[in-house]
Chain A
């Protein structure tokens, strides 16, 4: 089941991916033979009810968790063959993350948080790019503040900037607006949209929120560990409609 337009290269992909928790009676199939790919330069939303496996899929794609069977690829690299060290380097260089909460290191300033992945890898910061990113997320005046001195929306913008700073192949976002009020959430989503449309980033976002999903180019629906549907160029009404169907 491939749904990608042949002209686009996959930034990340899963092939017959299965993830099973527990054993025998208590066995839970979080992912059940999922095959899906995510095109470069696209903003994809993954949706599904709680327990559908959407977070597990993302964790496995990002090299944070391992599959029970099947394969995942980031930029053509098979993650199953990688050591912890190689996975670390992959996360540092090819992957960016935005989490729902607790996204920042509390002891570092906003700027230090943004450049942290680069610093960890000993990579020089591309100052021009960093300025662009900081400008895009409107954080110029906040760079020397600690996370505790920032609002939730500002903290999340720092997280977006951090994900963008290393120009990763792909950014994974896990309910990035889940903890924000709707205005801050809309801001974050607009930045992410901007990053894809204008800066050529690839973003995969897990979300519950049909409004958030409407910012994406494509929505993939998961239920019971399987890919069950997808929409391209969605509107929030379409998404809501599909969700209702899945829920019934």
Chain B
């Protein structure tokens, strides 16, 4: 770039500050999303890594049972005999050995209510004043004997307990009362990293936590000077090959890594929303540049006439885009801090618990933001820049010559091809589903982008008739406007620059298309869920866990013992490999057959009692299984159980794809069992109130248990879906906000362009009010056009996605007409909001000056 180009570029940016602020704003939100997603995941990961590093404390080595496959996220390790402790302690170099037992244990507050935590509620085994792990005794001393407990200081403060108080704790084996003798912390902090911690001495932990002589793993501390590797080898010879001994760092890393994987998925979701925002901003940038260029037509032509090459013009426009991109990215990174905090708050408000963490801004975050912010801006400005460089120099003297626009037919053809390519790719992604998750997302994502571009390009062709139609069909209260001069002018104005109207509307289209898509999917999921619950669930009660670790088996056993209840069955989930692939296997009692109707098409539920396996028809078809076939199931501890197929079923919505009996599971794996949910039906002749009282009485002992009847269960499931929808809509609001900015920007530019015209209108007697109304009305037409396009694209898209979703999720389409009407009405509001600034500006014009403007 030679110096005059740089000068012209800088001056060009400075001369259009207002325009550029609006454009910058649009990119800022997209970049803020990108950087916010990275910052959030980085911060949470850092917090989690440091938490686990802290918790590792002085654990030099850990003895545990190996797993055959899978990672820490799904690992259900078989326990280690606590008796190994003595032989490990005898190994030279070992300073201390502790059993690691972690079970769910809830602290009951003095008022009898369970103490709520933002993380899990743990009961653990604790040896000595300060254990090997990172937890420390802050006040008092460790628990000694069956009647004592130490709890974390933060929980004690929240529950209002002081040393010497009697604390009620609910553990896996039931309720117990303990004297509080110590307050613990993690490192220097008084909390348990969001969790509540109840620390018992090893013997109490063994009985009260139901460990039965087994430990989750064994922690080993080293004497100072002892070599970790040497001791590791020595321990390996003491324990049998059934167990493994690993460095403490590795264990901490594995656990943190498993959680980090989940956070990464969440981060990717956020990046998806960032992509939508950026895609919408690209339209706004494109439009702003296109309009600015048409307004600068004479200036650009003059430059060409006096010797600027088309390359220099192109560089000048791209240079402007570059400057805007850099400014926007800088602000976007700042905005990212806000986004990451805002999203944390949003999720915490709906019940998720994010660890509080300082915001981490890594180099990668900055590089990615720069790449995205500048890339999108410059790419969006590419076409306008190219168009600008093609302005014939003679236009300096004959402005009517203007641009050589793509021919209508060519544009139509390009639009149709893009649209068809988009639909094809989308269908391939959704229905052929090549290459797993990445293939599905990649193909359908690219398809959706092409679909949007195609519709945006085609919409130019029907922007004029649609605008005319919209101004005719708008609902009654607005109708008087259409008859007035202001209304007619607005309608004509929207029609006279169909390209601009279409691009502006397209930005809104994308946001609203996403909303309609999500709305259709949500309505279909909700309807399917309702239908299914009514058709296949006969359970009177569902008990789920409020906490993180599922329900202790003791709860189910107590429920089963109630005479007021008939059939009771827990549902456990285990990970296993079938045919080399990792699967979730459900384990239930035969009674589950009476509680949930899984719609068997062959075989019988009773076959479960004979140690057989029930298979959903999809995997059965894929693996060519039928009643009598045999399947080899390899559990995580490496045990392989050969099983016979006892039945094929249709409905996997509650039971999943594979079902075995609890007996089969407990024979194969000794990992501490956790119930995912418990289903129960009321015994014959017992009335609902009596049954509920009896169930509640048991539930009171287990604070994390959430007892729901069918209606409550249904409602809670719908609430969960609605919460998720709320978050999705909140994130889409960003994209819609950008589109509103886009409409405001286009209107402002149009007002500027029509200065003379407005002056003339005012001169011949149009009032300020009418002029404002005309601008507002035009904005409404544009936004309703965008909303119509959005619904027209989004509803079919939602239907397509609903069809593509697995049947266990969606088995019928439902179109939410209410939401669609709300979207249409909201788009009118959007138009009114977007027109506030431009309308005011139009009304403020000085009539004389406006007329003499060139």
Contacts and interface: CB of A to CB of B under 8 A. Distances in A.
Q: Do A and B come from one complex?
A: yes
B310 interface: yes
A117 interface: yes
A203 B226 CA distance: 98
B306 A91 contact: yes
Contacts of B4: 112, 116, 119-120
A95 B803 CA distance: 67
B782 to A, nearest CB: 29
A62 B306 CA distance: 10
Contacts of A120: 2, 4-5, 303, 306-309, 312
Interface in B279-300: 298-299
A92 interface: yes
Contact of B393 (A89, A91, A103): A91
Contact of B7 (A101, A108, A117, A122): A108
Interface residues on B, range: 20 to 34
Interface string B557-596: 0000000000000000000000000000000000000000
B395 to A, nearest CB: 9
Given A85-B309, A92-B306, A121-B307, A64 B854 contact: no
A153 B513 CA distance: 55
A108 B11 contact: yes
Contact of B299 (A84, A100, A105): A105
B7 A64 contact: no
Contact of B307 (A105, A108, A117, A174): A117
Interface in B305-357: 305-310, 312
B438 interface: no
Interface in A90-127: 91-93, 96-97, 99-108, 112, 116-117, 119-122
A88 interface: yes
Nearest to B389: A84
A79 B487 CA distance: 51
Contacts of A55: 397
A78 interface: no
Contacts of B306: 91-92, 96-97, 116-117, 120, 162
Nearest to A62: B305
A64 B302 contact: no
A106 B397 contact: no
Nearest to A90: B307
Given A84-B310, A99-B396, A120-B2, A64 B12 contact: no
B8 interface: yes
B14 interface: yes
Contacts of A96: 306
A102 B303 CA distance: 11
B854 A102 contact: yes
A29 interface: no
Interface residues on A, range: 20 to 34
B393 A64 contact: yes
Contact of A101 (B8, B308, B854): B854
Question: Binding site of B, secondary structure by majority: helix, strand, loop or mixed?
Answer: helix
Contacts of A100: 397
Contacts of A121: 307
B853 interface: no
Most buried by B among A96, A117, A122: A117
B632 interface: no
A59 interface: yes
A97 B305 contact: yes
A112 B298 CA distance: 18
B304 interface: yes
Contacts of A117: 306-307
Contact of B305 (A64, A84, A112): A64
A92 B303 CA distance: 10
Contact of A105 (B302, B393, B397): B302
Contacts of A101: 854
Contacts of B310: 84, 88
Given A64-B305, A91-B307, A99 B397 contact: yes
A65 interface: yes
A120 B4 CA distance: 6
Interface string B374-401: 0000000000000000001110111000
Interface in A33-67: 55, 59, 62, 64-65
B404 interface: no
B15 interface: yes
Contacts of A162: 306
A61 B8 CA distance: 28
A88 B309 contact: yes
A89 B307 contact: yes
B86 interface: no
Nearest to B298: A102
B308 A88 contact: yes
B224 interface: no
B818 interface: no
B8 A92 contact: no
B220 to A, nearest CB: 74
B306 to A, nearest CB: 5
Contacts of A112: 4, 7
B393 A107 contact: no
Nearest to A99: B397
Nearest to A88: B309
Contacts of B2: 119-120, 122
Given A91-B307, A120-B308, A64 B14 contact: no
Contacts of A119: 2-4, 7
B299 A64 contact: no
Interface string B1-21: 011110110011011000000
Contacts of A97: 305-306, 396
A65 B396 CA distance: 11
Most buried by A among B303, B308, B398: B308
B19 to A, nearest CB: 13
Interface in A143-165: 162
B294 to A, nearest CB: 15
Contacts of A59: 394, 397-398
B307 A107 contact: no
Contacts of A105: 8, 11, 299, 302-303
Contacts of A62: 305
B302 A102 contact: yes
Contacts of A93: 307
Nearest to B14: A107
Most buried by A among B3, B11, B854: B11
Nearest to A112: B7
Given A64-B393, A121-B307, A106 B302 contact: no
B780 to A, nearest CB: 34
A184 B462 CA distance: 50
A2 to B, nearest CB: 27
A100 to B, nearest CB: 8
A149 to B, nearest CB: 14
Contacts of B7: 108, 112, 119
A44 to B, nearest CB: 18
B8 A108 contact: yes
Given A64-B392, A107-B15, A88 B397 contact: no
B390 to A, nearest CB: 9
Given A103-B302, A107-B14, A117-B306, A64 B394 contact: yes
Nearest to B306: A117
B809 to A, nearest CB: 58
Contact of A92 (B298, B307, B397): B307
Contacts of A103: 302
A99 B399 CA distance: 13
Contacts of B12: 107
Contact of B394 (A65, A84, A92, A116): A65
5 contacts: A64-B397, A91-B307, A99-B396, A116-B306, A121-B307
The 4 closest A-B pairs by CB, nearest first: A92-B307, A107-B11, A119-B4, A64-B394
Given A119-B4, A122-B2, 11 more contacts: A84-B310, A88-B310, A89-B309, A91-B307, A91-B393, A92-B308, A101-B854, A102-B299, A107-B11, A107-B12, A120-B306
